[in-house]
Structure 1
Amino acid sequence: MWFSKPVDEVLDAFHVDQAHGLSSADARERMTKYGENKLKGKPEKSLAALFFSQLKDMLIYVLLGAAVITLVIGDYSDAIIILIVVLLNAIIGVVQEFKAEKAIEALQKLSVPRALVRRDGEVREIDSREIVPGDLVILDAGRLIPADLRLTESANLQVEESALTGESVPSEKKARDIYDDPKTPLGDQSNMAFMSTLATYGRGEGVAVATGMNTEIGKIAQVLDADDEDLTPLQKRLAALGKMLGYIAIAICAVIFVVALIQRRDLFEMFLTAISLAVAAIPEGLPAIVAIVLALGVTRMSRIHAIVKRLPAVETLGSVTIICSDKTGTLTRNRMTVVHTYVSGKFADVPEKGQAECDTQDMKELIRTFVLCSDATYESGEGTGDPTEVALVVLGEKYRIQKKKLATINERVAEKPFDSDRKLMSTLNKENGGFRVHTKGAIDSIMKIADSVRIEGKVVPLTEEIKADILRAAETMSDQALRVLGAAYKETEQILQPDEMEKGLTVLGLVGMMDPPRTEVKNAIQKAKNAGITCVMITGDHQRTAAAIAGELGIASSPEQAISGSEMDAVADEAFNEKVNHYRVFARVSPEHKVKIVRAFQSNGNIVSMTGDGVNDAPSLKRADIGVAMGITGTDVSKGASDMILTDDNFTTIVAAIEEGRNIYANIRKTVVFLLSCNLGEIVAIFASVLFFWPVPLMPTQILWINLITDTLPALALGVDPGDPEIMRRPPRSADEGFFAGGVAFRAILGGTLIGVLTLCAFYFGLNEHGYGLWSKNIPENTLTYAETMAFVVLAVSQLFYSLAMRHSLQSIFRIGLFSNRYLAGAIALGMLLQYAVISIPVLSGAFHVQMLTMSDWLVVIGLSLVPLAVSECVKAVMRMAFEKR
């Protein structure tokens, strides 16, 4: 019952000094004792459980039953081969599922929330899992509470606790409160902050009194053990496709069995053939392969500083048509530097390096207000906090007004934190026996609450003429692409409430600061344009400043493409929706405007990506098709509401992620078409032979073997195919576009039919060499085995070669490079080696009922196996010529 104890008693109980925090040694010792600060999730499946889950399939059960029957009748070789193939399929399935789970688990670890703690006397940012009981945790607006805390300090702190109490209205927190009643409800414990709740306003500090499953939220965390399946829309569509193909395959197998019954064939042999064909035809490994491709692709994206939190976002990335990006830190370097000041009606330049003296007392007062009205720090050349505030503290350093020293003399006693609607921040500091309010923010917001101005040491009324002069000065700076901030103050004899601070202020002056654009962003914007993607800038800066930077980056071509938040408010939603495609810059916007912008673009059929970093950005991030949070400056709220997190806060990373998303989708498409083509080839060969009363060209064990070597490594290798360099020169994929659009279905049918027909051709060639045909009776077993061997090789090797044709829908494999995908080249080489081993090693050849081919027949089967690849290349050439004529 920590809520009933005073702060000092709580600190003593955990043996922690409030000014120093825990030592690193103490933290390590407590981590060993209490474990990581995380909730227990659902237990991981053991390898044994994964293995047996691979066998939970009706067709596998039938196949195992067939193996038992073959054992009973004494056909041991076939039974052993069936069991080995089933075992290998299960092992491969386990490996695929295990890799997919580990890859996704690694991605989840990348997005663990961070927390600020005081250790060894300094503030550090660590993973929230590393917090231990006794840690001093620092809170600010937008940060998730990482553990149960007994607050030690609070300043206007408000916490949204709906995750725990169900109350949607944020609760006010006061560290000094103490409750004697041991039954005080959680929602009334104002001196406590609980894990998984959210700080929405103000700041505070608290000592961790419970972590992990010992927290209040941990006590109700059993719901997290639910084993719910999280499939992407694509995976769901493919799973449905797999079921549909399964029904078709079973129907075909039933037809085969009925036809065989009518034709009085060996029923047991045809039963095994039908079941083997069903197992081969159904792409049961497809969902697992897609999961691996998605997970590996997302892992690659994390290496380029884009952490995808939700796999469906990968599919959506390829369809993005609009990128709405914040300016500061994303399009720019986020290294603000004050370059000009405006005090007493005069501009002055700030030296780039070295130190300077304040020319006037007015200049000194302006800088003092900016330094005191900030939460940033700057020591030993390193700054922490908001880049804008860091720039103001650095300004003080240049004029020998040090933040640390000044804050000690003029202690802060109250504050009104920055709010995106007010665009202001105010603090109340001690000053010469009294108090002084220091306010900074947008100059137009300051003008609304000020009634006087300081000019040459005197406070005079703020007339319309002086106001116009100040606003002209702000516009002059804005035209130079500078961000303008104003400062104001007022004296008071008593401590004011936050609502009383921002009234009757005295204007001190302005500063103009520059955050230069990132050098690489201009090329990224052009790359996005080439890909049919429109880039839009959203900023809280002045309209002139924003338009100047947008023009420099190539986002906007004229000032008319910029609109302010106030102008947006003056336009009805329907009218704004009609005009929104004209604008490229949205200045002076609030978080509510962001939602309006997203809706407007979406109403025109666009797929919108939106960036954000603040608490109030959550609605627009959720509303956007792809919400992108900033990893460095972003709050935990924005990260929680987003689909993707940029660990470098760089616009270029968004474009790179879109490119990667397009390539991932393209690779999945290649894999699916390849698998369907291979399966169709097997069905065509078997079904045609049964239907026309020909000898069946393949044994059941041979079908299973081919399924094993073609449906695993080549399919996975296609899934990690290197990116198409031309993919960002094509327009975005329509969100309504079917998976088999653009001739994909035709390619699958053409490839599969060719593979099946050529398998039958090889079978016929083998029979014809020995003087027999497809309708011949009483074919010698040796001749039949030889023909089956040729069909066996062609069916397997043609599929391996055909995987090369799948790498691009238009470009020739020779232009792409035969060995540019080393994994695919290795998979083809390994598949051919295994196929040769089955034929050449006596033990294996006897088991699979095959025999060694002559050199001339090897040339024939290799030639036939190359035909699907060659035909595909010819089709591509025709398509390229047709494309070039457009």
Structure 2
Amino acid sequence: MIILLLIAAIISLLIAFIPTFHTDLGITETERIVERVEPFIIFLIVLINAVFGVIQEAKSEKAVQSLNKMIVTKVKVYRNNDFSVINSESLVPGDIMVLDAGDLITADGIIIESSAFFCMEAVLTGESLPVEKDENFITTRNTIISNRKNYVFSGTTVTKGRAKILVTKTGMNTEIGKIAGLLNDAKNQASRIEKKIAKISRILGITAGFFLVIVFLIYIFYVNNIANIQNTWSNGIKIGISIAIAVIPEGLFAIMTVVFALGIKRMIKCNALIKRMNSVETLGGVSVICSDKTGTLTQNRMQMVKWHDGLQEQTNFENEKHLQIIKAAMLCTDVKDDDGTFVGDPTELALVNIGVASGIAFENLQKTHQRIEEFPFDSTRKLMTTIHSWENGFLVITKGAPSSLFNVANNENLTNFKTQTDMMSKQGLRVLALAFKFLKELPKNISHETIEKDLNLVAIFGIMDPVRSEAKHAIDICKKAHIRPVMITGDYILTASSIASELGILDHDKKVITGDELKQLSEDNFLKEVNNIAVYARVTPEDKIRVVKALQTNGEVVVMTGDGVNDAPALKAADVGVAMGITGTEVAKNAADMVLTDDNFATIVEAIREGRGVIDNLKRIMLTLFTANISGLLSLLFGMLIFSFSPFTAIQILWINLVTESLPAIALGMKRPHRHIMSLKPEMDDNLISVKMVVRIILQSIMFSSIALLMFYLASSSFVNFNYYEMVRLFKQFETATGQDRDFIYNMQTAGSLSAFVVIAVSQSFNAFNTFSRYTIFKYRWHDIKYLVFASLGSLSLILFVILIPKVNEVFNSNVYVFNTTHYDFKDLTINNQKSIDVFNYGWLFAIAFIASMIPTGFIEILKVVNNSRWYANFTKYHPKLTQWI
């Protein structure tokens, strides 16, 4: 469409300024001014469309840049045997980096020394639990990242222990940097809205070109004599350009940009930052949400939800005996207090947090019962033991996997503990056992073999990452909105199934599948099964991409959430990639289309609501704009055939398309999503304009253009006592007329053009009320329609501006003063065999044009009342085919 407008502007410019392309025969100064103004207005329209898009994209990028600003990380290093603290950007290969629990790792490196060292590598590998590191592990070139236990990686964090690292890679050379580089090199595919607009643009371009040629031929061969083509061809092209402009909704792209910007602004208020403007519309068509579990559906905070003392299930610590148990559990952790914030392993944090909530001062507890000795957790024993001073002796505390503690406990009956462990595991809880014993003296040769025996098992703890309360409600909304939620997680199948069932994601007719099972499915079988799978557990990044592509192949519009570097390819592959703003890595944010500033699943659902509202508003806007365009097209086409003259000039059509209809259209874009919008099916159609909309556009356009042509006839023919044949005869002589002869015909045309312009412009100013809702506008509160009212009044004032202001109305061929009583003396013309004529004041026709322009709006409002009546409901029930297009 933009290309066609540019071509129209260039042709208009050539005709206006190069003598070879136009004739000066009889042309007035006013006509010359209009001729020279038109091309620059078309150029201005193209510029406005471009500027709107650039400004909004710049705003989105600026918002993302502000979100991505990170606090400079300080790093402890040995450089040239000197210890110092430097900015992470200053790290270079060869530095010795010192890491402690809670540190963010900012470079890749090999471990040269460590003590009970664990790292959380979920952002890179998807592993949800801390990984134990070992400097003695041997890595080969083919060892995958998740198995490189003697390496640390940039972007991951230390959860426990201490280590010295030889820095090997920094910046874009790190593993996280390599993924970022691949994503930056990836080509962006066209979005749904871009494809839809491209399709509409092609259709409009072809249509405009077709009618331009048709009207040019009509003007040359039907309206004028072919023998006079040297004087008429340029005017024929100008009228053809008017037709082309009538077909194209010049304000569409600028209005769409404004509507998208309004949607983005509303989404920001609900904690969703849209990076790419076109994603607003795509969100409205989402049919599947593939969500990570941790942090999005859950709180990303391990919490102890229940525990068992061997006798009965407990949920808190009320008596002294229970408090002694939780105190022991708190002591047997590596959690640290960092200025009021606890840092450490998530599971250990759950124990400390419940103890603090029970009134135990963690710092005082550690000072009172100082740690004498410790035996860190390792993957072989699956136990951790600490020894503390305790009254007149020592307390040995051991925690770890229940199966390991059952083997070293001296309890007479462990049956109840084992039963409860199985029950908690089936519920998806992470089960941790605790045992201790009191010693008056420590053995001389202390080792975990001598200490970890004859322990008294006192408790098992059920720990989980609890679901977000708002996530369950959001899942219910998804189901009502015909959106299928899918959980994709690196967690174990029992945990994933439990959480999914609690949230309502895993229904009785849906399946759970692991990454290993997924790999065994052929592509054809997976495409058949993908719509029946609700939970994917223990999946890899490659699995996520496969799921996304399979769903897309089946015609679904997919949202994929993620926070880690390993999620970035899947975020890029999805129709809408959603990154976490709090826990998400910069790579994930850069790959995503939307960033959640609260990491909340419910925010995605709210963003989809806004996206659906934007689609709904876009359809109303297009209904309004295309009704105006087709009305103008029909008026021009049939005006040429019936009256042998164009009812409108190009500049009048531009004013209608770009100004008078744009304000109400923008007001339509400000409409909030209606309350039932999340009970409808997703917008899956590839077309923004449905067949039903086309039928409605055509019917309304016929009504608008018929009234406009009637008013054109009445106003123009009033100069010759409403004689149609005399009017047409004079119009055909316009090209060769000069002096007052030309002035008379020009004023005839101006009177008709003004009246037709008023009908189309005013009716389109109020047509937005027709498209605002299927219910009559009088059912709405002032608060709901105030912007629409103000926009329509503003549009009306702009119409009056180009009609009533002298000189301006001459440029717009809408001079209302042509209706004044005037005497004309003709040179070559004769009207009723007379060489002079007095034209009387028919100004009342101007008022009638205003009244006539209100008729379509009133008629459609009456139709709405009828359509929503009980009688019509009964009629529709028994005659559905007769009413399907109404």
So what's the TM-score if we normalise by structure 1? 0.69
Matches within 5 A, 1:7-406: 57-69=6-18, 73=24, 75-82=31-38, 85-86=41-42, 88-90=44-46, 92-93=48-49, 95-109=51-65, 111-112=67-68, 114=70, 117-118=73-74, 133=90, 199=156, 231-263=190-222, 265=224, 266-283=232-249, 285-311=251-277, 313-323=279-289, 325=291, 329-331=295-297, 337-338=303-304, 340-343=306-309, 347-351=313-317, 365-369=328-332, 371-372=333-334, 377=337, 380=340, 382-383=341-342, 389-397=348-356, 398-399=359-360, 402=363
Which of 431, 435, 441 aligns to 1:485? It is 431
Distance 1:570 1:263, change over 3 A: closer
- SS, match of residue 238 in structure 2: helix
Q: 2:478 aligns with which of 528, 535, 538?
A: 528
CA distance in 1, matches of 2:485, 2:780: 31
Q: Distance in 1 between matches of 2:300 and 2:537?
A: 18
Give, in angstroms, the shift of residue 681 of structure 1.
1.9
Distance 2:506 2:152 in 1: 46
Distance 2:180 2:296 in 1: 37
**In structure 1, what is the Cα distance between the partners aligned to 2:768 and 2:12?**
28
Task: Give, as a single letter, the amino acid of the residue that structure 1 aligns with 2:221.
Answer: I
Equivalent position of 1:787 in the other structure = 752
Shift of the 212–856 alpha-carbon distance from structure 1 to 2, 3 Å rule, reads farther
Question: Structure 2 vs 1, CA of residues 366 and 846 (structure 1 numbering), >3 Å: closer, same or farther?
Answer: closer
Give the superposition deviation at 1:90.
Answer: 4.9
Partner residue, 1:701: 651
Shift in alpha-carbon separation, 1:411–1:68, aligned structure 2, 3 A: farther
Q: Secondary structure at the match of 1:263?
A: helix
Contact 2:102 2:344 survives alignment (8 Å) = no
Q: Does the alignment pair 1:473 with 2:420?
A: yes
Deviations 1:289-310 (A, max 9, x none): 4344334423321221123344
> Structure 2: how far apart are the matches of 1:637 and 1:143?
19
Q: CA deviation at 1:791?
A: 0.9
Distance 1:849 1:302 in 2: 45
What is the 5 A alignment of 1:280-679? 280-283=246-249, 285-311=251-277, 313-323=279-289, 325=291, 329-331=295-297, 337-338=303-304, 340-343=306-309, 347-351=313-317, 365-369=328-332, 371-372=333-334, 377=337, 380=340, 382-383=341-342, 389-397=348-356, 398-399=359-360, 402=363, 409=371, 447=403, 452-455=407-410, 466=414, 469-474=416-421, 483-487=429-433, 509-513=459-463, 518-535=468-485, 540=491, 550=501, 569=517, 573=521, 586=535, 607-613=557-563, 626-636=576-586, 639=589, 642-679=592-629
Structure 1 207/61 Cα, relative in aligned 2: closer, same or farther at 3 Å?
farther
Match of 2:883 in 1: none
Write the deviation string for residues 94-120 of structure 1: whole angstroms up to 9, x where unpaired.
542343223322443365275673499
Alpha-carbon distance in structure 1 between the residues aligned to 2:598 and 2:643 = 66
- The CA RMSD over aligned residues, in Å, is 5.9
Mapped partners of 2:342, 2:447: distance in 1: 30
Name the CA distance, whole Å, in 1 between partners of 2:456 and 2:551.
42
Whole-angstrom distance in 1 between the partners of 2:873 and 2:90: 66
* Equivalent runs, 1:811-830 vs 2, <5 Å: 811-816=775-780, 820-830=784-794
Per the alignment, do residues 113 and 416 of structure 1 end up closer, same or farther by CA in structure 2, a change over 3 Å counting? farther
1:797 aligns with 2:762: yes
SS at match of 2:286: coil
Where 2:236 maps in the other structure, the secondary structure is: helix
Number of residues of Structure 1 aligned to a counterpart in Structure 2: 767
The one-character-per-residue Cα deviations of 1:357-397 (angstroms, maximum 9, x if unpaired) are 5669876554434x23x6x75754x5457765532222354
Which range is displaced more, 689-698 or 398-407? 398-407
TM-score w.r.t. structure 2 length? 0.69
Change (3 A) 1:406 1:761: farther
Q: Secondary structure at the match of 2:407?
A: strand
In structure 1, C-alpha distance between the alignment counterparts of 2:243 and 2:307, rounded to whole Å? 80
Amino acid at match of 2:795: G
Query: 1:754 aligned to 2:703?
Result: yes
The amino acid across from 2:193 in the alignment is: L
Q: Name the aligned partner's letter for residue 635 of structure 2.
A: A
* Cα separation, 1, equivalents of 2:616 and 2:672: 11
Contact 1:309 1:644 in 2 (8 A): yes
**Matched position secondary structure for 2:273:** strand
- 1:722–1:821: 8 Å Cα contact kept in structure 2? no
**Is 1:344–1:362's contact at 8 Å kept on the other side of the alignment?**
no
Q: Percent identity?
A: 30
For the structure 1 residues 68 and 389, does the alpha-carbon distance in structure 2 shift closer, same or farther, using more than 3 Å as the test? Answer: farther
Which residue of structure 2 lines up, in the alignment, with residue 127 of structure 1?
none
Question: Partners of 1:587 and 1:248 in 2: how far apart?
Answer: 49
Partner residue, 1:729: 679
Measure how far apart 1:245 and its partner are. Answer: 1.3
Q: Structure 1 residues 800 and 175 mapped into 2: Cα distance closer, same or farther (>3 Å)?
A: farther
Aligned match of 2:796:
832
Look at both structures and tell me which one has the larger radius of gyration over its CA atoms: 2
1:218-239 Cα distance to aligned partner (Å, 9 max, x none): 9999999999887523123313
Task: Tell me, yes or no, if structure 1 residue 845 matches structure 2 residue 794.
Answer: no
* Counterpart secondary structure, 2:775: coil
Q: Do the aligned residues in 1 keep the contact of 2:577 with 2:594 (CA within 8 Å)?
A: yes
Task: Could you tell me which runs of 5 or more consecutive residues in structure 2 were left unpaired when the two chains were aligned.
Answer: 77-86, 125-131, 137-148, 225-231, 390-395, 437-442, 732-743, 820-841, 878-886
The one-letter code sitting in structure 2 at the alignment partner of 1:798 is S
Q: Distance in 2 between matches of 1:206 and 1:215?
A: 14
CA distance 1:63–1:224, change in 2 (3 Å) = farther
Cα drift, residue 799 of structure 1: 1.9
Report deviation, 1:662.
Answer: 0.7
* Distance verdict in 2 for CA 1:214–1:692, change over 3 Å: same
Secondary structure of 1:320's match? coil
Preserved CA contact (<8 Å) 1:362 1:455: no
Instruction: Give the drift of 1:860.
Output: 2.2
